[in-house]
Structure 1
């Protein structure tokens, strides 16, 4: 890897046609980008170094979107992989979300309020592509409150074949881990669990969502916003984006 680093290093990089004004501003931005990268690395190290969180209160039982079979939380840990990443998908969506529903298929026949969240769909689309690679080092699961039949149907309509999708309709998992409001409304959440000799502990959750009141906690797994942040236009107002029917 040292040889590859030598290939990458180019401290005098320039691009065609740039002005001195552009280069000065870009160099200032580069310093800020490097500082942010160092901060991100420190935060990631702090996250890894967290002491063991609370033990799960029960071995939650889910239903597989593939065939409806029951699956315990403990069974989501494959041999040699002691981290479990769970994305809580809003299916059903927020009751006041009036964005377009599914463009076709059985899911489109559901009342809009019972359909999946477009933003969550975008996140899961991205996780689907990454799942095969993540599986080399960690366990990755998507959980939703809807029935396993509806979840399985939507997965087939979206082409989700690499992800493990589970229904949590018959347990309190979403409520316990901040993915459900007291009145039963669903909200997106991201939780990580860790297995050790003592059992299964909660390791990390997207608590910044509850402090900021937005979904920026998911930037690490939501590819589209990282891409849009590179553009002059930026990510714009995220509340109504993305929308399934472009």
Structure 2
């Protein structure tokens, strides 16, 4: 069904009702207006997903980037696919100069770990880092992550080409999706939202937001807050 054939959002929103008695007319009016926006937002997300999936072929990855897997074997990008046609990668901020990983990367990976076994039924999923793979695995064991596959980038060519190492040596995270055609690897999609694209008072983030932490806090009266950030321990 095309979007022009969908039932108008206000008509669907009119079907909403609270599971609890005692709501005021003011609450119902505001909640119905919000429900209308939620339905429109859901449809916009669906449009966005369809636009992403219909992207034309991305650039061929010509460079022979090298990686070291959990077994200590040096492999190329195409070998990270395994038996899958699509590879999802996340470059996390845990370079050799860091005493501990980035707290936000850690938070995100903790949530992804809970879904990794399911995700890997559909696509390959690799977590890339500049620290030795043994160091990454040690931290994963500390956190109880059992379903994430960590890979070390050999040298800094990959990170530098993607703009993930800043002039001061600090790092940026990156989510990237690749697809393969035989031995040819192409970029399918990579996040391009950068700091200068952030709206006032907000961190730059993808749309939709891929961090379940923020998605859940967005459901609350307090929201994300402006003076709080996740930590490695509490």
Q: How many aligned positions are there?
A: 217
Q: Please name the residue that 1:130 is paired with.
A: 115
The RMSD of aligned alpha carbons is 2.3
1:245 — aligned with what? 233
Deviations 1:51-89 (A, max 9, x none): 11111122321112x33221221111132x211111110
Unmatched runs of 5 consecutive residues or more in structure 1: 1-8, 94-110
* Aligned residue in 2 for 1:207: 192
Residue among 34, 53, 62 paired with 2:39: 34
CA contact (8 A) 2:16 2:32 kept: no
Please report how far the alpha carbon of residue 218 of structure 1 lies from its aligned counterpart in structure 2 after TM superposition.
7.6
Shift of 1:210: 4.6
Normalised by the length of structure 1, the TM-score is 0.80
Report the CA distance between 1:127 and its aligned residue: 1.1
User: Corresponding residue for 1:164?
Assistant: 149
Post-superposition shift, 1:205? 1.0
Residue 230 (1) aligns with residue 219 (2): yes
SS in structure 2 opposite 1:32? helix
Paired with 2:16 and 2:169, the residues of 1 have a C-alpha distance of 56
Q: Name 2:8's counterpart in structure 1.
A: none
2:9 is matched with none
Q: Given the alignment of the two structures, is residue 74 of structure 1 paired with residue 78 of structure 2, yes or no?
A: yes
Structure 2's unaligned 5+ residue stretches are 1-12
2:14–2:32: 8 Å Cα contact kept in structure 1?
no
Q: Where does residue 98 of structure 1 map in the other structure?
A: none
